[in-house]
């Protein structure tokens, strides 16, 4: 992979780097690299020692936990401007899960040693601390959600959040297997929930895609 670099203008659009002064950014910029990954490529494997910090410029990456039987749980999805790889940068702790590209991705990559050196910059240190605390709070909310809400509600939440508008309709971007991984349920259970939603005319199938018919009712089910 060629060592392509990012322009200062692009780096300025990223929340983690936006507060740096011109001098600080000029100091860090020579170490920053541009990395590209195809859809479904593994950016980091579970058990790997993080080699640096990644910031998403374009595309999406999922944090995926897998067991020895091949079952998967999607713990989080990261999009443009968000970071990953920060765990283990200080003490070389292995990655607890894999990071999988769900779309073609372009990433900013800052090598581990340069990240550690940049923590002396107040703006970087404060941003990383804020992001880490926000991520911890979000993880706690997700655990509570898994424990306290029914599968039907969790599926509705995924359908409402994981899609895009097209021709006045809401097209869901994920399939049954991905939904099952995101809600922490079996694929069979998710299929039963989807059939129930089809019977209630909340959603319909078109070929292999799910399309929301009644978005307001779906949002109410997800509340």
Please, which pLDDT band fits residue 3 given cuts at 50, 70 and 90? low
- Name, in order, each residue with C-beta under 8 angstroms of 183's C-beta and a sequence gap of 6 or more: 146, 151, 154, 155, 157, 158, 190
**Which strands, in side-by-side order, build the sheet including 203-206?**
163-166, 169-172, 209-212, 203-206
**149-222 under CATH 1.10.10.10, yes or no:** yes
Q: Bigger pLDDT: 28 or 149? A: 28
pLDDT above 80: residue 111:
yes
- The per-residue pLDDT of the chain, averaged, comes to 86
Give yes or no for residue 177 having a pLDDT over 90: no
Q: Who's near 23: CB < 8 A, 6+ residues apart? A: none
Handedness of CA 68, 181, 140, 123 (dihedral sign): positive
Domain ranges of the chain: 8-142, 149-222
Beta bridge partner(s), residue 173: none
- The mean per-residue pLDDT over the stretch 108-135 comes to 83
Of 11-25, 30-44, 122-136, the poorest mean pLDDT is in: 122-136
pLDDT value of residue 147: 53
**pLDDT score, position 1:** 39
Q: How confident is the model at residue 2 (pLDDT cuts 50, 70, 90)?
A: very low
In the chain, the percentage of residues whose pLDDT exceeds 70 is: 95
Between these two residues, 206 and 139, which has the higher pLDDT value?
Answer: 206
Per-residue pLDDT, 51: 86
Reply yes or no on whether the pLDDT at 220 is more than 50: yes
Q: Write down the CATH superfamily of domain 8-142.
A: Jelly Rolls (2.60.120.10)
Matching CATH topology for 8-142 and 149-222?
no
* Mean predicted confidence (pLDDT) in 61-87: 85
């Amino acid at each position: 992979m060629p060592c392509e670099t990012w322009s200062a203008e692009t780096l300025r659009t990223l929340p983690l780097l936006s507060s740096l002064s011109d001098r600080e950014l000029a100091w860090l910029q020579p170490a920053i690299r541009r990395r590209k990954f195809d859809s479904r490529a593994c950016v980091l494997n579970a058990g790997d020692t993080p080699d640096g910090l990644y910031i998403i410029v374009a595309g999406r990456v999922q944090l995926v936990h897998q067991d020895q039987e091949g079952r998967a749980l999607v713990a989080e999805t990261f999009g443009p401007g968000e970071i990953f790889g920060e765990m283990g940068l200080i003490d070389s702790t292995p990655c607890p899960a894999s990071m999988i590209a769900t779309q073609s991705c372009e990433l900013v990559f800052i090598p581990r040693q340069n990240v550690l050196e940049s923590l002396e910059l107040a703006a970087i240190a404060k941003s990383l601390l804020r992001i880490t605390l926000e991520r911890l709070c979000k993880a706690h909310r997700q655990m509570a959600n898994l424990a306290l809400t029914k599968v039907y509600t969790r599926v509705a939440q995924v359908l409402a959040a994981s899609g895009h508008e097209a021709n006045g309709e809401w097209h869901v971007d994920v399939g049954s297997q991905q939904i099952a991984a995101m809600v922490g349920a079996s694929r069979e259970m998710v299929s039963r929930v989807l059939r129930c939603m089809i019977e209630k005319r909340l959603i319909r199938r078109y070929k292999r895609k799910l399309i929301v018919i009644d978005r307001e009712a779906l949002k109410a089910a997800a509340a």
